[in-house]
Structure 1
Amino acid sequence: MEDIAIVGLDCAFPGAADADAYWDLLMRGGDAIGSVPARRWDPDDFPGVPGAGGFLDDADVFDADFFSVSPREAAAMDPHHRLLLHSAWRALEDSGRAPGDLAGSDTGVFVGMMGGEWGRLTMGTPARATPQLGAGSSNGMAANRISYHFNLTGPSLAVDTACSSSLVAVHLAAGALRAGECDTALAGGVNVLLSPSLGLVYAQMGLAASDGRCKPFSADADGIGRSEGVGLVVLRRLSDAVADGQRIYAVLRGSAVNQDGRSNGVTAPNRWSQQAVVQAAYRRAGITPDQVAFVEAHGTGTVLGDTIECAALGSVHGVPRPSPCALGSVKGNLGHLEGAAGIAALIKTALALHHRVVPASRFADRENPQLQLAARGMRLLKSPLRLPAGETVAAVSSFGMGGTNTHAVLATAPRPAVSRSYAAPAGASVAGAAPRSGETGVFTLSADTPEALRRNLLAQAEDVAGRPPGDAARLCWSSNRIKTGLPYRFAVTARDSAELADALRGAAADDLPATAAPRPWARPVVAFLFTGQGSVHAGMTAPLYRDSPLYRRHLDEVDAALAPHLGASVREVILGGGERVHEPAFAQPALFAVGCALARTLAALGVTPAAVLGHSLGEYAAAVTAGALDLDEAARLVVRRAAVLRDLPHGGGMLAVRAGAEPVAELLAGEPEVRIAALNGPSDTVLSGPREALSRLERALGAHGVDARPLDVTHAFHAPPTAPMAEALREESVQATAPTLPFASTRYGRMLREEPLDGAYWADQAAQPVLFDAALGALVAETFPTHLLEIGPRPQLLPLAGRAGHAAGLEGLHPAPGPEATGRELAETVAALHRAGLDPVWDALYAPGHRAAERLRPYVFCADHHYWDRQSGPAPAPASATRQHPGTPSPEPHPPTRPEHAPGPEKPGLVETGLVEPGPAEPELTEAGPVLAAVVDAVVEVGGHPRERVLREARFYEDLGFDSVMIMQLKSRVESRLPQIGEVSVQQLLPALRSVGTLADFLDDMVMAGAA
């Protein structure tokens, strides 16, 4: 039987809002039982039912906007469904996956829950039935809603076997994984105490604990104490989880399910069936009872139940063994979670195996001697049990009132494989074993609204600040896998956890941080601009080479392509930090190497250019990036160009002038040896010629108030002195193909059409002026980039683009902007593009040793939306005496409500049935035509949205949470409010349902057409 890995989990139990709080509760032996909340029921009205139990603090909270659920539907939805949706998202995040990444996958959902109180409470009066209540009251919809909202296409089902429901759901999920029906499964259960009804049943059966507490295996045990909560685990086949490097809490080795059959009562436990299911589970898991270190028992704390369960366990585990089998039941801490009892026990066991310690059992100090635990090879834990090294096996039992029993066998996770570190190649002057301390990472976060982003920034800041100081790279890598996919994106670079915590806090203080961006509706359109001559400097990109394994790899590859032609390592020249990099033989190959390596590094990170442009020598790297030249061919041409240049006489230079070509041309009349070498913009011109002549021009320009500065070059490029280099290139046979990307030619000053990049092109490109301004203008006009990304060792082209006016509304980025640039600037470039909509190849940014999962705080949902979590009495009670449904009794008092939860005036509606709290009177819509006003009224009525949220641009499906049923309701209400349009067919209506405004415009046209 194939092992199943528990790779993620989430839970919310009384006194424990998440898994960390749950573990803390267990380790301190906490008691989660408290009084019945006033908003549930009054214990005085139900004598015989204990006035205490385990209750969630926020069972009525639901972030409806996050799941695009309208307020009216959220209020009609069973609280079990709402809790499961939150928990499913958090569990998937805990598994190391962004939940959105599973959309369209065959992920299965298996949910255990029992009863069906919500349906009885809300659908008991047929006149109040609505489509939303119909869907909201179905147990089967509990799993289906998760599959729907997450777009999961695998098996999706709810299980009701009473108290064993959630562990049976896990058993079924594991079977589906083994059968290949799904590759990932969500499994667990939920229970909400909506009324005292089942408590009355327990009391009548003599099963209710007097103080509302379960006391498993204790001499004081006197029955069941009810409780509620939700828990889900994410399951995968162990081989898949290991292959994907997921964190594994524990391994499910095997499980079994059986039935009591016809025993001494349909609700009475059967020792022999319990014994059989334990033995079957051990056979399937391939273990023997003596290997089991501890059993998390069903342990309800009823005298009969505990006695029968201990007899069954003792008959299996009472074998010769080195030490007794530990026995416990989480019901001593939480109470009996009924349909969710099994998942509470399973999560406790998984956490115990993960932390390698078994919590002590409450009430162990008063062990029931009649259970004969010691004689049966078992013991209760009065203090935590530390687990030894190596594999530990544990088991979990869960039994249903109707006789469905299940038993699961878990084991500790296998040791993770050791990640291999990157080592720099032999001969590299900058050593680089990775991971390095302080490697820069990008921490990402996403949310559905700016407010949610701020809320989660604060939560992550608190979490990061509470961790031991250290590198942030693993946290960043984990965030890239988990915290992406929602509309509002945040990304910031960090080297250590203290820096990251400060950045998160600072970002949360801003309205919309500079490190965040609103809904990126499309991927960024990036143009690569390759820097030309004059940008070379000693040691260029050496800090980046030291920091980035990815850049190291690509610079090494380009160096290997150049070496056979150059006869030396240009990498050593670049990284050596000496002045050799300025020598004619090395300067151009070095610049080409940096440009190609940076472009390839960005491509490996998922940054694909939409167009390329190269300034002078930069056009060679642009041609390689565009697929017009392969790397070896371009390397040969660049080395050939440098070799010819090396043999030319020195003495020439270049002068950058802050003026246009026309005013400069007047001065050139007196200097015939000087040429215009580059037209970089309306106020940026480069001159080339003898140094003495350029010095005279510099003084003359200064006298006219024009700034001019010499460039750090060895020759007068793009001028007659370099004509021999052009002629040498013209004779070369060049193996080139048509570019696969739009290519802005600085030779022609436009986008390249059919012209070949042959020897003649490269000869003219070396001899003629660089038409950068015209080429960039054409690139921007024809490819509409959102970002200009300069590729080179220091910024040159971005300032030119800005002064020329080509960068208006565009973001300029540079991954290596100067001598001190490290891996941080590269990471900041990726972060900026991610905020703009890019989904980078995040793994490429990190050394292998830093690609290890870290648990991050799960998504913090909005807690401002409260919906009723129960209806008391035989009929729904109203929520307000001022809006009381006819014929219902007076309501109990409630605290003030929030206006955003007020539904529309539909009758019978959710306020009238008491399913949602009422709000203040709705404001009148102003400055709107009658058709738009009618549409807004209909939307408010159908969806229950506050009027101020129903804006023209609000989208029906994404923003207002409408579905097909609600669309039909909307159609009916619009027709009744606008009788002059008559009946509108669904086919007519659907194209107009993009937003409230588009629907209003469509209906307005119909009204006008009817009037005409």
Structure 2
Amino acid sequence: MGDIAIVGIDCTFPGAAGVQAYWDLLMRGGAGITPVPAQRWDARDFPAAGGSGGFIDDADVFDSDFFSVTPREAAAMDPHHRLLLPCAWRALEDAGRAPGDLAGTETGVFVGVMGGEWGRLTMSDLARVTPLLGSGSSAGMAANRISYHFNFTGPSLAVDTACSSSLVAVHLAASALLTGECDTALAGGVNIVLSPSLGMVYGQLGLAAADGRCKPFSADADGIGRSDGVGLVVLRRLEDALADGRRIYAVLRGSAVNQDGRSNGVIAPNRWSQQRVLDSAYRRAGIAPDRVAFVEAHGTGTVLGDAIECAALGAVHGVPRETPCAIGSVKGNLGHTEGAAGIAGLIKTALALHHRIVPASLFADRENPQLRLGERGLRLLKSPMRLPRGESLAGVSSFGMGGTNAHAVLGSAPRTPRTAGAGGTRTRGARDAVGVFTVSADTAEALRRNLTAQADAVAGRPRGAAAALCRSSNLVKTGLPHRFAVPVRDTGELVTALRRAAALQDTASGAGRPWGRPVTAFLFTGQGSEYPGMTAGLHRDCPLYRRHLAEADQALAPHLGASVRDLIVGGDERVHRPRFAQPALFAVGYALARTLTSLGVTPAGVLGHSLGEYAAAVTAGALGLEEAARLVVRRGALTDELPSGGGMIATSAGPEQLAGLLAAEPGTVAAALNGPGDTVLSGPLDALERITEQLAGRGIRVRPLPVPYAFHSPRMAPAAAGLRTETVRCAPPAVPLASTRYGRMLRHEPLDAGYWAGQIEEPVLMDSALGALVAEVAPTHLIEIGPRGVLLQIAARGGRAPAAEHLHPCPGPGATGMELAETVAALYRAGLDPLWEELYAPEHRSAEALAPYVFSSARRSWDRETFVQTARPPATAATPATPAAPADALTALPAERPEPSRGAAAGPAGPDTDDPVLHAVVRAVAEVGGHPPERVVAEARFYEDLGFDSVMIMQLKNQVEARLPRVGEVSVQEMLPALRSVGALAEFLRDAAVARSS
């Protein structure tokens, strides 16, 4: 049998809500046994069932909105199903996966569940039977609901072999993984004690403990105490888990299932069958039983059951061996969780191997001498047992009342080297890498709730580097619509940011729900933005930027004869000379753009200002990197050979204000038209000085630019002539490219030598080009690509894209990796799904534990009397449960129907709406789904927001026909196109009524 890795766990057991709470309960020797809650039944009425047991707190809580389940369906669902859904979500998160990422995959679901109490309790009154009750009480749906809500298409089955159900489910899941039926599997079980009936059966069989507690292998053992429990594990083939870098709790080395056959009674255990299933499991695992350090036994605490099991365990694990095999049973802590018993034991064993310590067994101080444990090479643990270094092995047994036995062999996870700096405390003197921590939720309130949970969890860690923790959050906490993201270096900063965000009443300032995806435009800065050491901080912090800057450097070096990377990082003053400045700026622009695109930020359009057009052309696919590098080096060398004496000034005047001055100074020109009142002049220095004096006298702001030449003027003619002789390999841009030479979008004109020659001496038509770009792609975000902020200021002054958010991944000399991370975070908050992995160096790509998702506890579905009311079938047409719209409501229709979008914008479309058709639809939807009418707004979607399914649509059809008799009969096929939203259905029905009355 191949090895299977346990990579994720979630569970809730009596007194232990969550994996850590479960482990804490086991290690402190706690117990989750309490009196029967009044919510279940009055124990005084059923003394034969016992007055105590193990009960999960808040077993009635279910976040139905999260799973798009209507309140009526939630009330009709078996509580087993309601507990499994959030457990599955948390288990997948614990496995390092965003559950939504597995949608559409052949992920398998295998759930152990025994009995059918919910069906017996709810389906016995035939007058109240509904389709929702039918599906809600089906045991098979325990697995199918997970597959449906998570959109898994792999094997999905519920397993009922009585008390061995969940371990048999794990066995079947492992087999499905090994045969290739699925690559990921959820396996486990669930049990809820809904009624005293089975307890009464145990009592009549003489199997019930008087105090409701299981006391496995104890001299005081007197029977079974029933308990709740739910647990799931996420399984992967070991080689896949290792390849993915997953945290591995333990490895399933082999398992086996068999049956007692015809023995001394259908519900009596059989020693020889138990012995055979143990032998089979170890044979399949390729392991000698004497290597097993401990066994998590079935251990019900019945006299007969304990005796038979110990005889079988001793025969397989016992003499001869140097050290007795430790045995125990978690039923001493929890009680007998029946369909979840096997998974309770498996999770305990996996955690013991993970933490390398086996919890002590309750009641071990009163060992039953009749079990002859010492003679059989077995022992009960009176204190926790440390596991030695190296591989440790353990067994898990689970036996069903009807004779189906299961045994699993687990081993400790293989040791994998932990990369230095992957997490934990900060190395002295080291600078922590930047990461982006993400949290997502289904509503704004849920986001605040989960921000608080994450803050509390991170605050409990030692302060240290946060990059690995951030990466884990990107893998796990990014799949839901309301989003938060913050760039941080260490956990202290992270806790502060999380608490600040959680305290905000308006999450829009730091987190919210994007209603689309961002549309980005890249603006590439030109010459004049350079400075010694530009982007050095980013280069230090960001491996991805280092890689792409090295690519540019490699392309430039053969033509330049020097390394621009070394010049940039080293703070070389030669960066001001055109020979080096232009290749260096091109390298920075290229590397920044490639860094962003590698992170999943794909521009919808690009624009380059002067020299910036070269990197823009490469990003657009119009020039190759090698070709652009050659041209830029040539351009820089030609510029460097020009005579000095030229310069440029920026003015706050428009071309019309400057026309007279330029006419008086023939050598000067408008070199860049950046905006209506934003013009750059270029020419001889003495002429520029005279123009500066005159403009200052008129109160017009003037600023000299830090460039040594009169770019984009006739003085560039020699350089233009040199470029004109080049042979240029170019292609049509694959990304929309706004030409600042032409002041419009580039269509079919080639970026040949003639283009680049004209581009260096003609004016930069920035304002017109930006206007064309905005009109073409309607960007939501403008991102400046360059070593300092220049073009975003120009765009802001010109007002070309006033609604666009401005971002800069490296806005000046003080920039580090933090600004790049904030750019990605802002785009994630706006709806982008970045390629997060590229943000982190290999040493930060380790799996870190995160707090599980915190679901809403506001809605409860349990009490059977309440259930009878809420799960009652929707009222028929003859007897609606709530007042229908008057029969003549449609006669009040206006001559022109109102626009549904206006109703949607007005908020709830409930009882106070002045639209009678919408009012009737809202009431029908509320009745069928069990929603409060105020929640049924016009823009609510039937499937995604209201949790409707095909059965409910049929019921809705009957409801609207009853409430709107003038519409007449409407087929479901006619309704289907209108089921986009509540408002769309109302619009359809209004049209149908008008058409049938005309």
Q: By how many angstroms is 1:383 displaced?
A: 0.6
Out of 601, 624, 634, which is 2:618 matched to? 624
Q: By how many angstroms is 1:673 displaced?
A: 1.5
Which residue of 1 is the match for residue 792 of structure 2? Answer: 798
- Tell me whether 1:949 sits opposite 2:938 in the alignment: no
- Aligned equivalents of 1:923 and 1:487: distance in 2? 23
What is the 5 A alignment of 1:154-165? 154-165=154-165
- Aligned equivalents of 1:1008 and 1:9: distance in 2? 57
Supply the AA of the counterpart residue of 1:666: G
- Tell me whether 1:137 sits opposite 2:137 in the alignment: yes
- Tell me whether 1:960 sits opposite 2:946 in the alignment: yes
Q: By how many angstroms is 1:285 displaced?
A: 0.5
Which residue of 2 is the match for residue 786 of structure 1? Answer: 780
Out of 740, 745, 755, which is 2:739 matched to? 745
CA 905–132 in structure 1, closer or farther in 2 if over 3 Å, else same? closer
Q: By how many angstroms is 1:1009 displaced?
A: 2.1
Partners of 1:591 and 1:792 within 8 A in 2: yes
What is the 5 A alignment of 1:314-393? 314-393=314-393
Supply the AA of the counterpart residue of 1:954: A
Which residue of 1 is the match for residue 898 of structure 2? Answer: none
Partners of 1:299 and 1:329 within 8 A in 2: yes
- Aligned equivalents of 1:908 and 1:383: distance in 2? 67
Which residue of 2 is the match for residue 219 of structure 1? Answer: 219
Supply the AA of the counterpart residue of 1:1005: D
Which residue of 2 is the match for residue 254 of structure 1? Answer: 254
Q: By how many angstroms is 1:421 displaced?
A: 9.2
- Aligned equivalents of 1:789 and 1:486: distance in 2? 26
Q: By how many angstroms is 1:698 displaced?
A: 1.7
Partners of 2:535 and 2:815 within 8 A in 1: yes
What is the 5 A alignment of 1:784-933? 784-868=778-862, 871=864, 877=865, 906=875, 925-933=911-919
Which residue of 1 is the match for residue 34 of structure 2? Answer: 34
CA 929–923 in structure 1, closer or farther in 2 if over 3 Å, else same? closer
Partners of 2:444 and 2:507 within 8 A in 1: no
TM-score by length of 2: 0.95
- Aligned equivalents of 2:777 and 2:590: distance in 1? 22
Q: Deviations over 1:956-977 (max 9, x none)?
A: 1111100011001000110111
- Tell me whether 1:74 sits opposite 2:71 in the alignment: no
- Aligned equivalents of 2:839 and 2:429: distance in 1? 11
Supply the AA of the counterpart residue of 1:974: V
Q: By how many angstroms is 1:928 displaced?
A: 2.5
- Aligned equivalents of 1:717 and 1:681: distance in 2? 18
Q: By how many angstroms is 1:513 displaced?
A: 3.0
Partners of 2:128 and 2:872 within 8 A in 1: no
Which residue of 2 is the match for residue 51 of structure 1? Answer: 51
Supply the AA of the counterpart residue of 1:463: A
- Aligned equivalents of 1:150 and 1:49: distance in 2? 38
Out of 418, 428, 453, which is 1:459 matched to? 453
Tell me the secondary structure at the aligned position of residue 558 of structure 1: helix
CA 420–325 in structure 1, closer or farther in 2 if over 3 Å, else same? same
Q: By how many angstroms is 1:420 displaced?
A: 8.9
- Aligned equivalents of 2:312 and 2:670: distance in 1? 96
CA 788–83 in structure 1, closer or farther in 2 if over 3 Å, else same? same
Q: By how many angstroms is 1:560 displaced?
A: 1.1
CA 143–434 in structure 1, closer or farther in 2 if over 3 Å, else same? farther
CA 41–288 in structure 1, closer or farther in 2 if over 3 Å, else same? same
- Tell me whether 1:530 sits opposite 2:512 in the alignment: no
- Aligned equivalents of 1:521 and 1:265: distance in 2? 63
Q: By how many angstroms is 1:907 displaced?
A: 7.9
Out of 976, 994, 999, which is 2:962 matched to? 976
Which residue of 2 is the match for residue 276 of structure 1? Answer: 276
Q: By how many angstroms is 1:905 displaced?
A: 6.9
Q: By how many angstroms is 1:994 displaced?
A: 0.7
Which residue of 2 is the match for residue 574 of structure 1? Answer: 568
Q: By how many angstroms is 1:730 displaced?
A: 0.8
Which residue of 2 is the match for residue 915 of structure 1? Answer: none
Supply the AA of the counterpart residue of 2:279: Q
Out of 752, 756, 759, which is 1:762 matched to? 756
- Tell me whether 1:439 sits opposite 2:425 in the alignment: no
Q: By how many angstroms is 1:660 displaced?
A: 1.3
- Aligned equivalents of 1:503 and 1:67: distance in 2? 29
Supply the AA of the counterpart residue of 1:475: L
Q: By how many angstroms is 1:584 displaced?
A: 2.1
Partners of 2:877 and 2:962 within 8 A in 1: no
- Aligned equivalents of 1:807 and 1:540: distance in 2? 28
Q: Deviations over 1:891-934 (max 9, x none)?
A: xxxxxxxxxx899974899x99xxxxxxxxx9971133221111
Q: Deviations over 1:410-468 (max 9, x none)?
A: 0000012455999xxxxxxxxxx999641110001111100000000000000001101
Partners of 2:393 and 2:412 within 8 A in 1: yes
Q: Deviations over 1:851-881 (max 9, x none)?
A: 100010110000111001x64xxxxx467xx
Tell me the secondary structure at the aligned position of residue 11 of structure 1: strand
Partners of 2:73 and 2:871 within 8 A in 1: no
Q: By how many angstroms is 1:320 displaced?
A: 1.7
Which residue of 2 is the match for residue 894 of structure 1? Answer: none
- Aligned equivalents of 1:84 and 1:435: distance in 2? 47
Which residue of 2 is the match for residue 917 of structure 1? Answer: none
What is the 5 A alignment of 1:363-762? 363-419=363-419, 437-514=431-508, 516-762=510-756
Tell me the secondary structure at the aligned position of residue 16 of structure 2: coil
- Aligned equivalents of 1:984 and 1:488: distance in 2? 37
Partners of 2:910 and 2:922 within 8 A in 1: no
Which residue of 1 is the match for residue 902 of structure 2? Answer: none
Tell me the secondary structure at the aligned position of residue 222 of structure 2: coil
Q: By how many angstroms is 1:840 displaced?
A: 1.1
Tell me the secondary structure at the aligned position of residue 628 of structure 2: helix
- Aligned equivalents of 1:723 and 1:697: distance in 2? 23
Supply the AA of the counterpart residue of 1:863: S
Which residue of 2 is the match for residue 305 of structure 1? Answer: 305
- Aligned equivalents of 2:913 and 2:357: distance in 1? 66
Q: Deviations over 1:614-646 (max 9, x none)?
A: 000000001111111111111111111111111
- Aligned equivalents of 1:401 and 1:902: distance in 2? 33
Supply the AA of the counterpart residue of 1:77: M
- Aligned equivalents of 1:816 and 1:1009: distance in 2? 61
- Aligned equivalents of 1:599 and 1:739: distance in 2? 16
How many aligned residue pairs are there? 967
- Report the identity percentage: 72
Q: By how many angstroms is 1:518 displaced?
A: 3.7
CA 183–510 in structure 1, closer or farther in 2 if over 3 Å, else same? same
Which residue of 2 is the match for residue 187 of structure 1? Answer: 187
Structure 2: gaps of 5 or more residues: 882-907
CA 923–817 in structure 1, closer or farther in 2 if over 3 Å, else same? closer
Q: By how many angstroms is 1:289 displaced?
A: 1.1
| Greater displacement, 973-982 / 395-404 | 973-982
Supply the AA of the counterpart residue of 2:776: E
- Tell me whether 1:287 sits opposite 2:295 in the alignment: no
Tell me the secondary structure at the aligned position of residue 793 of structure 1: coil
Which residue of 1 is the match for residue 207 of structure 2? Answer: 207
Supply the AA of the counterpart residue of 1:270: N
Which residue of 2 is the match for residue 429 of structure 1? Answer: none
Structure 1: gaps of 5 or more residues: 423-432, 872-876, 886-900, 913-921
CA 434–699 in structure 1, closer or farther in 2 if over 3 Å, else same? farther
- Aligned equivalents of 1:239 and 1:483: distance in 2? 25
RMSD over equivalenced CA pairs, Å: 1.9
| Greater displacement, 56-65 / 564-573 | 564-573
Q: By how many angstroms is 1:1011 displaced?
A: 2.7
Tell me the secondary structure at the aligned position of residue 756 of structure 1: coil
Supply the AA of the counterpart residue of 1:990: L
Tell me the secondary structure at the aligned position of residue 603 of structure 1: helix
Partners of 1:421 and 1:435 within 8 A in 2: no
Partners of 2:164 and 2:398 within 8 A in 1: yes
Which residue of 2 is the match for residue 888 of structure 1? Answer: none
Q: By how many angstroms is 1:511 displaced?
A: 2.4
